[in-house]
Amino acid sequence: MRRKLLNGKVITVLAVLLVHIMVAGVAMAKTDASKKWRYVAEGGGVTIKRRVNKPRGDLVIPSKLDKRPVTGIGDDAFEGCDRLTSVTIPEGVTSIGGGAFAGCSGLTSVTIPDSVTSIGYAAFAGCSQLTNITIPDGVTIIGNDMFARCTSLTGVTIPASVTTIGMRAFNYCESLTHVTIPDSVTNLGVRAFANCNRLTSVSISNRITSIDKWTFTECGSLTSVTIPDSVTSIGDNAFSKCTNLRVVTIPDSVTSIGGYAFAWSGEIVLDVTEGSYAEQYAKENDISYVLAKE
């Protein structure tokens, strides 16, 4: 009996604590005086959680709510707002949350201020009408799926502050024609540029040590690639199904090439150094190669 009473008391205490936590969570989110925005006060600023009514057309996010500066756009804040056509984010915002504009399929332009230093995973995933975007200089990570399936994206400016491009960051960006990966980038994720079938040229950072598996798979318009001297490994299927790829220059530094790295890539020729691992790989996999001139 005593054990049952104790168990009952424990359950009651946990239930009370849960109610307090839920009430506190609800209390944190507020509606501003205009009755248009839900936000959370954090420090001296506020993070927008969502708009009370689903926005459409051109949206200018206010710089202040209830006299407090807007410093953040929360996770999933505008997710699925498919009638949104443009967004202007005010100066002073430092972070854009994960999935903040994901699935905004009518979004054609976004103005991101220089104050932004953090953009979350999949922030613009599925924005299929977005054509061009400039990432601010302070951003260090292009997160997983950030621009995945932005099928109309033709250009992107990656600043020298970026050190990591995450998995599937530009996957299925089918209109992207060229990209320069700055020398600040040291990590390039799995499928980072996979299925970018209009990508004709790519300049790879000379600080990247590994080209991960599937990174450029099915980039059907890519014709030539120069692997920088910093790279030591090329992963499985890294350039598979690049049907128009003709020349890949591989330096001596590469000591590992994964399975099917260049499979189904047409009349490809590897430009290698005599006696190098890449030459041996070409021989073993029956891939045409030429020896680099001294």
Per-residue confidence band for 294, with pLDDT thresholds at 50, 70 and 90: low
pLDDT surpasses 50 at 22 = no
Q: What is the mean pLDDT of residues 247-263?
A: 97
Round the average pLDDT of the chain to a whole number and report it: 92
- Quick one: what percent of the chain has pLDDT higher than 90? 87
Tell me the pLDDT tens digit for each residue of 24-62.
444 378 999 999 999 999 889 999 999 999 999 999 999
pLDDT at 20: 45
Tell me the pLDDT tens digit for each residue of 161-187.
999 999 999 999 999 999 999 999 999
Identify the DSSP state of 35.
Answer: S
pLDDT surpasses 70 at 8 = no
Tell me the pLDDT tens digit for each residue of 150-164.
999 999 999 999 999
pLDDT at 42: 87
Tell me the pLDDT tens digit for each residue of 69-119.
999 999 999 999 999 999 999 999 999 999 999 999 999 999 999 999 999
E strand or H helix at 226: strand 224-226
| Cβ count near 114 (within 10 Å) | 12
pLDDT at 30: 93
pLDDT surpasses 80 at 248 = yes
Buried b (16+ CB within 10 A) or exposed e, 145-156: bbbbbbbbbeeb
pLDDT at 13: 47
pLDDT at 24: 42
156 bridge partner residues: 133
Which amino acid is located at 77 in the chain? A
Q: Are strands 45-51 and 109-111 parallel, antiparallel or unpaired?
A: unpaired
> Which residue's structure tokens are 């003709």?
246
Q: What is the mean pLDDT of residues 190-202?
A: 97
Residue 160, C-beta contacts closer than 8 angstroms, at least 6 positions apart? 137, 182, 183, 184
